[in-house]
Chain A
Amino acid sequence: MTTTTEAARPAPTGTEEPLVRLTGAGKNYGNILALRGVDLEVSRGEVTCVLGDNGAGKSTLIKIIAGLHAHSEGTYQVEGREVHFSSPREALDHGIATVYQDLAVVPLMPVWRNFFLGNEVKKGPVMDIGFMRRTTKQELLDMGIDLRDVDQPIGTLSGGERQCVAISRAVYFGAKVLILDEPTAALGVKQSGVVLRYIIQARERGLGVIFITHNPHHAYPVGDRFLLLKRGQSLGYYRKNEITRDELTALMAGGAELEELSHELSQAGAGSAAAAKILESEVHELGIDRVTTGDNP
């Protein structure tokens, strides 16, 4: 367990190889190009946010990193060594753990059985149930979740709690890189805050975090790097000091599309013209013209 938790957050240095580095990665499903030419890096103690709308290729990207699908173009390096995963198990063995949108928990099973699923602790031929119960309770307590009973089916927990069980499970089992697939998508404001707090905690323990979201307001406060995806391609890859929250929001909203939308509206008649004006001013306020024409780093 000591291997899973670094006491202090190691400063990301320029000489150290990033935990995960994708270069020009792409994936075809038959003749469908799901992802093309994506670069991504995450180092120890860093949060890389992947933003994009539905169908932007976020899921394909994490499936490649998590080992569910092998990439068909480009390179994928883990700590400087090139890899080609054919199963999630291999990715896990390299310390890359994924917390999926649907949480990868089995709702009818007790919390502790879920926590240790696939990594059961054995004492001789049998499971050390006492140890697993105690550990689950303690680990969740450290995450700030005080469970009444670790024997309750995990389906009875709230969405945020389940998310945190999944995160603390990954951390406990020595994940070096944590991939979080839309962890805040189905949550209310308060629970989203709880999850964001765990992202920061994971970062401070020295983990690399890849945080997939479509909400720039969730991404900006915790992120160190931002990758924007659209229609399977990279729309931009920024460090935090290269982009402001408003620019990020603007990119996510699809600046060009907003402008087009306002153009459409203004042609529709007097009533729509007012709406078009509002949209247009929003576009300028967000500084979209600046970002969409800017060069990618």
Chain B
Amino acid sequence: MSTTLETKPAPGPRQPAADERLAGRSWLSRLLNRPEVGALMGAIVIYLVFFSVAPPFRDLSSLSSVLYLSSTFGIPAVAVALLMIGGEFDLSAGVAVTASALVASMFSYQFTLNMWVGVLVSLVVALVVGFVNGYLVVKTGIPSFLVTLGTFFMLRGLNLAITKQVTGNVGTNDVSSIDGFNSAQKVFASSFNVGGVSIRITLLWWILFVIIGTWILLRTNIGNWIFAVGGSAPSSRAVGVPVNRVKIGLFMTVGFLAWFTGMHTLFQNNTVQSGIGIGNEFIYIVAAVVGGCLLTGGYGSVIGAAIGAFIFGMAQLGIVYAGWNPDWFYFFLGALLLGAILLNNYVRRRAEAMR
């Protein structure tokens, strides 16, 4: 094919040699180009701060508690980060967690069915909610912020209204005596000991989901499409990326991980209060943004969102361990978010300048 090129000298051997100009780019610059590096630096700083001011924070069991709390926010944050990289929001994720738990609990209890039936029915419901969110966003072109704000309120209302209708109460009945409860609890809410420290199973699930999410994002063509639809949906469409299917799939992924988190909530507490979960959607978004996801889409990392969730867990429990007044927690959270965004901006600009 080089025979048709008259405008430049023959390229010689086909194999492009390693470019000598690449040597100038240090490993440091490569590292700083990762989207999660700002969050990692922030996490180290916050860890060191609590490590020095709060002696109980230094215990391994405290670290285990922090990781457990982080995992309950980190699991849905994996999907929320992927969705944000794909250029969309889901404000209904927090109440979708509660809705999943309520459906599983009430379905199995009211119809006296095996617990796993309720778990599966709830999975279908969660996927349908995700699909409806995605379908409305791609078909109407209305910003996902508004569409999911609508579904957020609808789910919130349904959670309360249906629960009250069915149980006559704002919470569900205890499901711990239903067949299948024990096995389901093993999967979603058990714990085990490693060297005297109790590790919650959600931590393992969290690590697994982060690995899968990162693998999909960086190694598969689906990941390429996620970056692309978030970076520029019209451009992606023009080169043949199935934009609508990718976005709907991302919303359904949020549904899936919201369901998973809901199952943990249910089997951890045996009952579910219909009013919980409100506001958690913001924590997931904070985790993703702190982790380096660009609010406008097209850039970000699942590992970053995990670090973001870890920062959230450290801050929430660290304040308790340090004996500070927990009333200030949300102030700290907001300040943390702002700081993380500024740091991310700084790191990204610096990385771009170093190229």
Whether the pair B227, A106 counts as a contact (CB closer than 8 A) is yes
Query: What residues of chain A lie closer than 8 Å to B224, measured between beta carbons?
Result: 109, 113, 116-117, 120, 127
Q: Are A126 and B219 also in contact (CB < 8 A) when A117-B228, A197-B7 are?
A: yes
Whether the pair B5, A119 counts as a contact (CB closer than 8 A) is no
Whether the pair A149, B22 counts as a contact (CB closer than 8 A) is yes
Selected interface stretch from B168-176, B232-240, B247-255, B311-319: B232-240
Query: How long is the Cα–Cα vector from A125 to B219 in the complex, in angstroms?
Result: 9
Q: Are A127 and B221 also in contact (CB < 8 A) when A106-B232, A141-B11 are?
A: yes
Query: What residues of chain A lie closer than 8 Å to B231, measured between beta carbons?
Result: 106-109
Q: Within the complex, which residue of A98, A119, A204 is in contact with B238, where a contact is CB–CB below 8 Å?
A: A98
Question: Is A190 an interface residue when CB atoms closer than 8 A count as contact?
Answer: no
Q: Within the complex, which residue of B7, B221, B225, B239 is in contact with A201, where a contact is CB–CB below 8 Å?
A: B7
Whether the pair A108, B227 counts as a contact (CB closer than 8 A) is yes
Whether the pair A89, B240 counts as a contact (CB closer than 8 A) is yes
Query: What residues of chain A lie closer than 8 Å to B21, measured between beta carbons?
Result: 148
Query: How long is the Cα–Cα vector from A234 to B294 in the complex, in angstroms?
Result: 46
Question: Is A129 an interface residue when CB atoms closer than 8 A count as contact?
Answer: yes
Q: Within the complex, which residue of A127, A142, A144, A197 is in contact with B1, where a contact is CB–CB below 8 Å?
A: A142
Question: Is B2 an interface residue when CB atoms closer than 8 A count as contact?
Answer: yes
Question: Which residues of B197-249 have CB atoms within 8 Å of chain A's CB atoms?
Answer: 215, 219-221, 224-225, 227-228, 231-232, 234-241
Q: Within the complex, which residue of A106, A127, A144, A156 is in contact with B228, where a contact is CB–CB below 8 Å?
A: A106
Whether the pair B16, A127 counts as a contact (CB closer than 8 A) is no
Query: What residues of chain B lie closer than 8 Å to A126, measured between beta carbons?
Result: 215, 219-220
Query: What residues of chain A lie closer than 8 Å to B15, measured between beta carbons?
Result: 134
Query: How long is the Cα–Cα vector from A77 to B4 in the complex, in angstroms?
Result: 29
Question: Is A32 an interface residue when CB atoms closer than 8 A count as contact?
Answer: no
Query: What residues of chain A lie closer than 8 Å to B8, measured between beta carbons?
Result: 144
Main secondary structure of the interface of A (DSSP, over half): loop
Q: Within the complex, which residue of B14, B16, B219, B236 is in contact with A106, where a contact is CB–CB below 8 Å?
A: B236
Interface size of A as a range: 35 or more
Question: Is B38 an interface residue when CB atoms closer than 8 A count as contact?
Answer: no
> Which B-chain residue is minimally distant from A152 (CB atoms)?
B355
CB of B233 to closest CB in A, whole Å = 9
Q: Within the complex, which residue of B16, B235, B294 is in contact with A102, where a contact is CB–CB below 8 Å?
A: B235
Question: Is A253 an interface residue when CB atoms closer than 8 A count as contact?
Answer: no
CB of B2 to closest CB in A, whole Å = 7
Q: Can you pick out 25 interface pairs between chain A and chain B where the beta carbons lie within 8 Å of each other?
A: A5-B1, A88-B240, A100-B235, A102-B235, A104-B234, A104-B238, A104-B239, A105-B232, A106-B235, A108-B227, A109-B298, A113-B227, A117-B239, A117-B241, A118-B239, A119-B239, A127-B221, A127-B224, A129-B219, A141-B11, A141-B16, A142-B5, A144-B7, A144-B8, A201-B5
Binding site for A on B (CB under 8 A): 1-5, 7-8, 11, 14-16, 19, 21-22, 25, 215, 219-221, 224-225, 227-228, 231-232, 234-241, 294, 298-299, 352, 355
Binding site for B on A (CB under 8 A): 5, 7, 68, 88-89, 92, 98, 100, 102-109, 113, 116-120, 122, 125-127, 129, 134, 137-138, 141-142, 144, 148-149, 152, 156, 197, 201, 204-205
The 7 closest A-B pairs by CB, nearest first: A120-B221, A106-B231, A118-B240, A118-B239, A104-B238, A104-B235, A5-B1
